Amino acid sequence: MSSSPASAASTVFDSVLFRDAFGTAEMRALFSDHALIQRYIDAEIALARAEALEGIIPSDAADVIARESQLERIDLDRMRQETDIVGYPILPLVHQLAEMCGEAGRYIHWGATTQDIMDTAVALQVRDGLAIVERDIRALRAVLVDLARKHRDTPMAGRTHLQQALPITFGYKVSIWLAMFDRHQERLCELRGRVAVVEFAGAAGTLASLGYKGLAVQASMAQALNLGVPQTTWHVARDGLAEAINFLALVTGSLGKIGLDIMLLASTEFGEVYEPFVPGRGASSTMPQKRNPISSELMLAASKAVRQHAGLMLDAMVQDLERATGPWHAEWIAVPESFILTAGALRQALFALSGLIVDEARMARNLGMTRGLIVAEAVMMGLAPFLGRQVAHDVVYDACRLVNLKGGTLAEALKASPTVTAHVSIADIERLTDPTRYLGLAPQMVDRALELSARRQSH
């Protein structure tokens, strides 16, 4: 039996069995140990260059630090062992970088504190992670636009409390999904500037060790890393990171809602939509007929997990004084897992929705299964001008009861009522009881959603 490191994985994030179900290789790579350590190094190099620019350390020392600080030369086992002792990875990293850089090594990490480097690295990861999420949201919006446009006029039963309510169109349903992701696109653009900011402030956040040049170094460091400059030190002000993860919870929450809709509509009793057919996907080990909505299930699971991390990040905002004694560490769990789960859920959504199978005939059949009762409201409103709303309600109510008790259709029951036929023609009864004629403004709402989405897509 293989004893490779891969086979020893213990979570879905690094499992050879589940890692691509709950994440993507791209996002895992972004939050990998190697990528994280490289960002620590990037932050240390940017700091050295910024300090050299301000004359705090020699320029040639900064050049040596930039040249010699290489991830490939890091002894990861040694770094892990020292991290276990120290509790943080930066001092162990600085030990090795200082050795690499010789005499110039004395200037590494000048005036910085561990959290400066770690927070800056996370800001870089979050910035790049949000770029991946934004790309996938844009792609998903394009898929939803096509789906909404194609099914603008495809009638189906709208359901409330899991009961048929009134007719809608499938395009109307998809336009609601689309609008959610239009808003997520806006949220992402707004929050990026609040979270993609450098952290360099020193031991208690006052930059005391660099004197009057501290803020200039901070700004130069931010520019080198393509990060923003913070309004104040954010060692214990974690609203930016909390906002980012709560944003991911909103994204995956919307994906969970879409997944749940697909699962319900794909159930045997509904049979209105299906995930794309791939041989063997969604198969049961005992029931050959099964075609389970696997992507939708994974989307729903991810939404539940990221929601928990969103709560953890809110809890981690409550930090003590000028340096936290534990809440900070909770972020190390929540941030990477939330991004990986979100990337995985978006990938599942793109797969499911890009090839979604819509059974229009089944939608039409289900729409007619109540024999016209689904448009009882339309009939009531059609009779109200002649009978008054309450009398019209009672007449239609009695007709509905007759259909439920004795069968037949609502149109037949209405045609047998002298009260109805005294005011409404047979042709009008047929029109009023046709579900496809009572779609409200669903198609027009699709048009409006598509128009507004097109405007947002250009921003």
Tokens found for residue 255: 């994906």
Q: Map residue 30 onto helix, strand or coil.
A: helix
Catalytic residue among 161, 285, 458, 459: 161
284 is catalytic: yes
Tokens found for residue 253: 């929450």
Give dist(CA 455, CA 208) in Å, integer.
48
Between CA 449 and CA 400, with CA 382 as vertex, the angle to 5 degrees is 100
Between CA 350 and CA 359, with CA 354 as vertex, the angle to 5 degrees is 130
* Residue 108 main-chain phi, psi, to 5 deg: -70, 140
Give dist(CA 400, CA 410) in Å, integer.
6
Tokens found for residue 347: 């990938």
* Residue 229 main-chain phi, psi, to 5 deg: -100, 130
Q: CA 198 → CA 119, 205, 223, distances in Å?
A: 8, 13, 9
Give dist(CA 331, CA 87) in Å, integer.
15
Catalytic residue among 7, 32, 267, 284: 284
To the nearest 10°, the Cα dihedral for 447, 453, 454, 459? Answer: 160
DSSP letters, 212-254, are GGHHHHHHHHHHHHT-BPPSS--SS--HHHHHHHHHHHHHHHH
The continuous run of DSSP H or E covering 413 comes out as: helix 410-415
Give dist(CA 428, CA 28) in Å, integer.
61
Give dist(CA 307, CA 293) in Å, integer.
22
Check if the beta carbon of residue 178 is closer than 8 Å to that of residue 145: yes
Tokens found for residue 33: 């140990």
Catalytic residues: 161, 284
